[in-house]
Chain A
């Protein structure tokens, strides 16, 4: 790494001394540098507290079935290794895992222990040691650091930029719209055409207003996970198709020449206090479809990519009285990508033995989330260690970078 960057700077300095525009020379960069410029990282944030024991159920752990009862997936889980399976909805993840392109991180947590969604998400995204100690996101600061060497674009998927990508560097955002939204001209033109129409004018105006409200309501429903509701089969399929095309679209942006190398996407609705089985089946199928879309959409660029799937906290090891689980501590993260090295689980498994549970209720964390992020940024994206410790994840010395992932 250190051997590469100075040499490029040398080339640029030389070019500058001959009075050439830097942009012209920036294109034919050295092979190794071009390789770094192709590297991609995608962070998928699963909001609501995703249940790690459902994502990768430790079916080989002797205490698992007793703690999980009716929610235990020991007979339905997709095979992964001797201890862990994968949720039945995660078929893409399993296929990738069998090819050595997906690994689980089964007991990872942020430094936050408050079990509050909003606090924990802030800590997850800011990369800070505690809540309210940073107003920018660690991914934005990482892009800022990378931009010191070369142009790096970043993209967030969604109507508003998530904290993880907020900061000094201007990043792009994109959200999939419906056809009507994309061509907002037609409603406007029609309202003009209907200005003297006593029937159609008021009807369209009210209809459009309702449409806006309905969209907001739908979004709220998704945030709340539609607790207790199982959508009909064809709605599910439509949801999966939409999820897959979301992933394909994101991949399409990243494959564009000069497109984003860094992206963040949020998936909502993982807060599974009740009816967890149906709810997670839907949400994980959605997530799996997004990952499927990203994988197939990236095509040859998949080999240059690492995807990190993370959540703000895990859930209680025991089920509650309403067929669900409550806010917990450690959860499971996923690492995916053609750039990954083959290997088993990342971090240690603390087991589910009674005395191993955190505060006698949650999966105990064995790994600081920041160490995972730091390892990927350092080895995959080529970020300097000192910058990483100082600017991207301040006060994270205790969270050693997880090395050897790529």
Chain B
């Protein structure tokens, strides 16, 4: 494969590996495009968006909200059957609405903070790498309660671990309250655990009843998290596991849960409930695990992290995200080699990606997701501090509602998912509106050169130069085939 020249490599570094070039970024990368990227790898992990709260705080807030909601329902019911027969005062301060609004603001604020980081960071590759892992370990706001902890989840479990060992990242993610909540682990109870026995004898303590009111408490196993760890997070769907492995793994995971609001030390944090853990030894994918508490699940996770199937599955995903929907097997093999020879050190895998000649192919093969398109548009405009709240409805219209991937599988990464006709028209409408506001008195020709460098084609350069207004020129740049891709 012919190596691209230095100018083109600088443009590729900023736009394919990074999140799109800010003015001046390609010029900076030109001295040493590869060094520009490897310098962004650091042991302490990715940057943290500003002002994201702790997940325990958010979970407690949400539980409070649910209790308020229940109280409000009870109050309403009481008033409906009240002796005076008067209806409730509709103007009374509604705690449910107040807290509900607060929660929405938390989620919107977290997303805006993440967007702010993505638009302004000088380490675009580091941020893209972090966002790849956030999508690999998707927690989605499609479940109301998890929406409030996605920002904290990324800050606590993902970002600190993205250049460390995969096993550590996996452990942090699977034991995080956000993941435990999103994939229903907190309800999972070993069928032969002490907690299950206790429930069978009808011994519902008052404290426990308060937490889960009005629910017919069926106590038992929930396989959701165990299955998704196997299918989506580690070995992949063809990783060689069976339904029996899923069930056994789910049994081993029982006990992983979240501290109750009544417990001031553990409220909203991940805990291990021994009494809910299924006793006995487990066999997962041919390996026997001794009876135990949290260390049983930990041992299984560590083994899964170390499996070659996991390296193959995850390295394939990295290659598909960064380089092409159908990456060359040679590229995936390079990443796998770096993974296995470093015991799953993700910093080494990132270096291998940067070093791989296939990753620098001159033709941009990746079509940007809506999020990537919006972020790179803001970066091309050199945006500094914007009110990013207005971006959420645009992303929703483009099919990528903030923090709301449709399933635990995360957002799709392939062109066919995002290049539907309606989506292109909507991108055009965004580009038009955004350009009018963003370009101001700047020269779109210069912005085009800054945004794409040597990737700018003569056709697009000509179209931008011939535009009848600055805004039209900038919109043409954003909608050009090469800006839509990376």
Contacts and interface: CB of A to CB of B under 8 A. Distances in A.
A7 B159 CA distance: 86
B222 interface: no
Interface stretch (B104-112, B268-276, B351-359, B427-435): B427-435
A210 B481 CA distance: 21
Interface stretch (B35-43, B203-211, B339-347, B415-423): B415-423
Contact of A200 (B419, B429, B432, B463): B419
B465 to A, nearest CB: 12
Contact of A199 (B367, B468, B476, B479): B367
Contacts of B475: 186
B476 A180 contact: no
Interface string A170-187: 000000000110010111
Interface string B425-466: 100110111000000000000000000000000011001000
Given A193-B480, A197-B481, A207-B424, A179 B432 contact: yes
Given A189-B472, A197-B481, A210-B425, 17 more contacts: A183-B472, A185-B472, A186-B472, A186-B476, A187-B428, A189-B467, A193-B459, A193-B479, A194-B481, A199-B367, A200-B419, A200-B424, A202-B421, A204-B421, A204-B425, A207-B423, A208-B425
* A-B interface, 10 closest residue pairs, ranked by CB to CB distance from nearest: A207-B421, A207-B425, A206-B421, A203-B424, A203-B421, A197-B481, A204-B424, A207-B424, A199-B419, A203-B419
B188 interface: no
B55 interface: no
B87 to A, nearest CB: 17
A193 B421 contact: no
B431 to A, nearest CB: 8
A202 to B, nearest CB: 8
A20 interface: no
Mostly, the B contact residues are: helix
Nearest to B426: A207
Contact of A189 (B419, B421, B424, B476): B476
B484 interface: yes
A190 interface: yes
Contact of B425 (A185, A197, A211): A211
Nearest to A197: B481
Contacts of B425: 204, 207-208, 210-211
Interface string A183-224: 101110110111001011011111110110000000000000
A332 to B, nearest CB: 33
A180 B429 contact: yes
B429 A179 contact: yes
Given A186-B472, A203-B420, A180 B428 contact: yes
A130 to B, nearest CB: 47
A194 B415 CA distance: 16
A192 B463 contact: yes
A202 B422 CA distance: 11
A298 B422 CA distance: 39
A186 B432 contact: yes
Contacts of B459: 193
Nearest to A208: B425
Contacts of B463: 189, 192-193
Interface of B: 367, 415, 419-425, 428-429, 431-433, 459-460, 463, 467-468, 472, 475-476, 479-481, 484
A225 to B, nearest CB: 26
Mostly, the A contact residues are: helix
B22 to A, nearest CB: 24
8 contacts: A179-B429, A187-B428, A189-B463, A193-B459, A193-B480, A199-B415, A203-B423, A206-B421
A98 B277 CA distance: 75
A200 B484 contact: yes
B168 to A, nearest CB: 39
Contacts of A190: 428, 476, 479
A193 B460 contact: yes
B159 to A, nearest CB: 33
B421 A186 contact: no
Contacts of A202: 421
Contacts of A208: 425
Contacts of B422: 207, 210
Contacts of B467: 189
Contacts of B472: 183, 185-186, 189
A187 B429 CA distance: 10
Nearest to A183: B432
Contacts of A183: 432, 472
B116 to A, nearest CB: 26
Contacts of B479: 186, 190, 193
A194 B423 CA distance: 15
A200 B433 contact: no
Nearest to B431: A186
Contacts of B431: 186
B433 A179 contact: yes
Interface in A112-142: none
A115 B432 CA distance: 47
A193 B432 CA distance: 16
B219 to A, nearest CB: 41
A309 B472 CA distance: 41
Contacts of B429: 179-180
Contacts of A192: 463
Nearest to B435: A186
A200 to B, nearest CB: 6
Contacts of A210: 421-422, 425
A103 to B, nearest CB: 36
Q: Which of B367, B425, B460, B463: most chain A CB closer than 10 A? A: B425
A193 B424 contact: no
B430 to A, nearest CB: 11
Nearest to A195: B459
Contacts of A204: 421, 424-425, 428
Contacts of B423: 203, 207
A232 to B, nearest CB: 14
Given A189-B463, A207-B421, A200 B428 contact: no
Contacts of B484: 200
A133 to B, nearest CB: 46
B445 to A, nearest CB: 15
B481 A185 contact: no
A273 B484 CA distance: 49
A207 B424 CA distance: 7
A210 B421 CA distance: 8
A197 B479 CA distance: 12
A211 B425 CA distance: 8
A224 to B, nearest CB: 24
A210 to B, nearest CB: 6
A197 B432 CA distance: 20
Q: Which of B463, B467, B468, B479: most chain A CB closer than 10 A? A: B479
A123 B480 CA distance: 53
B128 to A, nearest CB: 22
B429 to A, nearest CB: 6
B420 A200 contact: no
A184 B415 CA distance: 26
B476 A200 contact: no
Contacts of A180: 428-429, 432
A189 B484 CA distance: 16
A98 B432 CA distance: 45
B380 to A, nearest CB: 17
A100 B249 CA distance: 79
A186 B432 CA distance: 8
Nearest to B467: A189
B373 to A, nearest CB: 12
